[in-house]
Amino acid sequence: MAITALERKPHPAPEPQVEWLASAEPVPYAEAVAAMDGRVASIARGEARECVWLLEHPPIYTGGTSADFAELLAPARFPVFRSGRGGRFTYHGPGQRVAYVMLDLSRRGRDIRAFVASLEDWLIATLVQLGIEGERRPGRIGIFVEGAKIASIGVRVRRWVSLHGVSLNVDPDLEHFSGIVPCGLPDMKATSLAALGATTDMDEVDRALRAAFAEVFAGEAVSANSSRSP
């Protein structure tokens, strides 16, 4: 696994608050969760900065705390993982940008609903920078374009530090979503930036994510250090 720190961006804060990391190769799910758990524990102890980790996974299905295994339609297609995040079944794989968001909510109001709303705002602002108009849908978590889901949100909070985060479909194989009932919604269709005709790549998506994060969350900055894990 190769994780490199992203370039430093100018910011008025005197010290970096949020460290951004990016993995060059797909990261196995169990390895990612273990690294995230360790970083979150360090943040909770005051020993590490907040962190956003950008990565892709090999093709997998993950089931959140509300997952119903009847909604796993093709259990032999890809490895299946139980996840501590909220939500039901989703697909992760190449061409999808996953952002694990490890923020200290004690510094940010200890309001989980407001935090999830901020994640939605972040995704919508990211899509705007990529020329796509995303929207919320009543009663559904995530971001949609023309009725199809383009981004998912699934989080957990431990000692008031967030784990897991968001995923944005850049150019994944959308057929892989047919192996599950995505988010428990039989009528839900998945879409992607590529399917919508957006001309982009993962580097451009990452730049848009960082810029939009600065709009939505306070204290955004990056570290110049390299690391193999959060």
183 classed as catalytic:
yes
Residues in the chain: 230
Tokens of 201: 């790549």
Instruction: Give the active site residue among 183, 190, 205, 212.
Output: 183
CA 157 to chain centre: 14
Q: What secondary structure does DSSP assign to the chain, as a single string? A: --EEEPPP---SSSS--EEEEEESS---HHHHHHHHHHHHHHHHTTSS-EEEEEE--SSEEEE-TT--GGGBS-TTTS-EEE-SSSSSEEEE-TTEEEEEEE-BGGGTTS-HHHHHHHHHHHHHHHHHHTT---EEETTEEEEEETTEEEEEEEEEEETTEEEEEEEEESS--GGGGGGB-GGG-TT--B--TTTTT----HHHHHHHHHHHHHHHSTT--------S--
List residues with catalytic annotation.
183
